[in-house]
Copies of this chain bind each other. A is one copy, B any other.
């Protein structure tokens, strides 16, 4: 191995002030593990919630947060057959979910949660929990895929059946939402994007959005969405907020519409009136990222469709606290930290 020292960012307790850089030993791969020299790590809003102690109150310290990384395989365990030294890989965040249904008890093997996170120069992936990074993407771009892109892909392409010509409504312009916008457009769907900023809506249109709704100037965005669809409603809403926002999402839906719950930026609760739910045969589905097979299919599609992840800001490895704080600023796309 090229270095004996492994720099990491570790939480010694909750709060950003207790996240600090440390030096440790490079981990030893087990027989079916990959040792990976990371190149870039991307942040998700849930990383901030974990650092702040909101999402996993019973975390054990020290703990290295974050879940998304791209890197190069620098060593492999003796029983590894799927990868070789020198390949560029991404970690499968729910490490024990290869395909089909998720394991009965989830999050026993999840990167940056029950397993250590990615803010290290060296990390371990099980060989069954890694995929090749798409060759067409830079390290910074590839690092954004494991949670944000796969969540959007799974909601749009795996858990539902997209029918070209249908309408999907994407809330906001964060990382997941912009991937959803890009995928939806590539599938032949009409994407409506909501935002509090006309400027962001303009940028979303350049990425393919069919329509934009400013929910600050038009708080009844659900009614606007209905009007845009001739009163029929949209076929699929990606819910990023929760709480009362989900009531508007329900109202925006067409008959047989689907509401995919993929974010909880605003509330820990969902509530709905029951009658329109039944009358319109609405399906509400909670999602947890996705499985490895979907990750592989997505990467193939990213190559085919020439999709480029939208990067908001790139930070250096010494700027992790600033990067975490930037999560609160409403970034347009992904925040990435380079690690080498």
Which residues of A line the B interface, CB within 8 A?
30-32, 79, 98-107, 157-158, 161-166, 183, 186-190, 210, 232, 242, 254-256, 261-262, 264, 267-288, 291, 293, 297-298, 300-305
Contact = CB atoms under 8 A, between A and B. Distances in A.
Given A255-B101, A255-B105, A293-B101, A270 B279 contact: no
A282 B271 contact: no
Contact of A255 (B104, B187, B232, B301): B104
A288 B284 contact: no
Contact of A99 (B99, B187, B189, B210): B99
Contacts of A262: 278
Contacts of A286: 274, 276-283
Contacts of A107: 279
Contact of A164 (B232, B254, B301): B301
Contact of A32 (B32, B101, B284, B298): B32
A304 B98 contact: no
Contacts of A255: 101-106
A117 to B, nearest CB: 18
A269 B269 contact: no
A106 B282 CA distance: 13
Residue of A271, A276, A304 with most chain B CB atoms under a 10 A cut-off: A304
A262 B277 CA distance: 10
Contacts of A100: 98-100, 291, 293
Nearest to A97: B99
A301 B188 contact: yes
Contacts of A102: 255-256, 281
A275 B264 contact: yes
Contacts of A267: 274
B161 A161 contact: yes
Nearest to A158: B163
Contact of A187 (B98, B164, B280, B291): B164
Contacts of A190: 304
Contact of A284 (B79, B161, B166, B284): B284
A140 B325 CA distance: 59
Given A100-B99, A163-B297, A164-B186, A264 B288 contact: no
Contacts of A163: 157-158, 297, 301
A242 B102 CA distance: 28
